[in-house]
A and B are shown apart, each in its own frame.
Chain A
Amino acid sequence: MIQRHARHMALAVALSLAIAPAAKGQFTASQSISFSISAINQIAFVGSPTLTVTTAAPGAAPSSVTNATATWAVTTNQSNAKITARIPTIMPVGVTLSSSLVAPTGATSAGFKALTTVSTDLVTGITKVAQGAMAVTYRLDATAAAGVVTAQARIVTYTITGGT
């Protein structure tokens, strides 16, 4: 009698376990996700300005002209990146082309720097920033010794050098 009761109890327990619903917290799953970030340094320049020297005050060198229609943008996730610039061939004698970049937040602009075939720093100390629509101002200076200069073009190459 006792053995039969025990068997019935076992059967009842088995049946209750077989139809029990998933209770709170009894179903779980886990998954590992791996990720990384590389050094990122990106710049972009927009605009093709034209500068024409046309006048002078008597007794003075021809008047400089500026153009601030171009813009530039930068994204870097490093610290102390910098922007340099150069042109492929030198300017005509007596003519100087300079560029000045507005610095992004936290960085330092060197102001107007004459552009030559040697890279020159324009902005330094660029740290972990993503900023766009910053002004690029070009300035053309000419001395009387330059004479009349027919229309020419120079392609300015800007380079971002990553930091650390």
Chain B
Amino acid sequence: MKRAATTLLLAGLLMAASHSAAAQLPTVGPLAVTTAIAGSQPVSVIGNSTYSGVVAFGGQMRIVCSLNANMPTGTTLQVRLTAPSGGTSLGDVIVDVTARNLVIAVTPPFLNNVTIRYTFTPTVAAGVLPLTTRTAAYTLLTYP
């Protein structure tokens, strides 16, 4: 009985740890802007990633995203999260250091198969930019 209780306690601690998971996704890029049509702004570049996981929760959540630093002047980064079911994607959202809603009314199936699309868009005002990195942080929050 004592051993069974200890085993259950350890299992519970392991479950609690999984509810505080911090997933580290592989790096996307480089998203290299190299050309433009004469008379128009430089051509945007798109990069894609995916996420698949099992997160148990009741009710609905929302997914927000923020960057570790704002994008360089004259550039924007948009993020779009989509999945076959389980939430409402807000489409391409321009992200910065402020947490922005990307998906609302999220239920557990959404996180089973997520497609993450990044769109890097510069203007000529950005000039020439050496390889630069930003880290996007995604958080699951209650909704509404």
Q: Tell me the A residues contacting B by CB distance below 8 Å.
A: 3, 7-8, 10-11, 13-18, 20-40, 42-44, 73-79, 128-133
Contacts and interface: CB of A to CB of B under 8 A. Distances in A.
Nearest to B17: A17
Contacts of B124: 40, 75-77, 128-130
Given A14-B12, A40-B35, A75-B40, A25 B139 contact: yes
Contacts of A133: 39
Contacts of A21: 19, 56-59
Nearest to A77: B124
A84 to B, nearest CB: 16
B36 interface: yes
Nearest to A132: B39
A26 B16 CA distance: 10
Nearest to A3: B2
10 contacts: A10-B9, A16-B12, A21-B59, A25-B141, A29-B51, A30-B24, A33-B135, A35-B29, A38-B33, A132-B39
Contact of B28 (A7, A14, A31): A31
Contacts of A131: 39
A76 B41 CA distance: 9
Contacts of B136: 30-33
B106 to A, nearest CB: 10
Interface of B: 1-2, 5-6, 8-13, 15-16, 19-42, 45, 47, 49, 51, 55-59, 61, 75, 77, 116, 118, 120, 122-142
Chain A CB within 10 Å, residue with most, of B32, B116, B133, B140: B140
B95 to A, nearest CB: 10
B130 to A, nearest CB: 6
B5 to A, nearest CB: 4
Contacts of B75: 35, 37
Nearest to B142: A24
B130 A36 contact: yes
A44 B38 contact: yes
Contact of B140 (A27, A34, A37): A27
Nearest to A42: B38
B27 A33 contact: yes
A14 B5 contact: yes
Nearest to A7: B5
Given A23-B19, A26-B19, A128 B140 contact: no
Contacts of A39: 128
Given A7-B1, A34-B132, A75 B37 contact: yes
Nearest to B42: A40
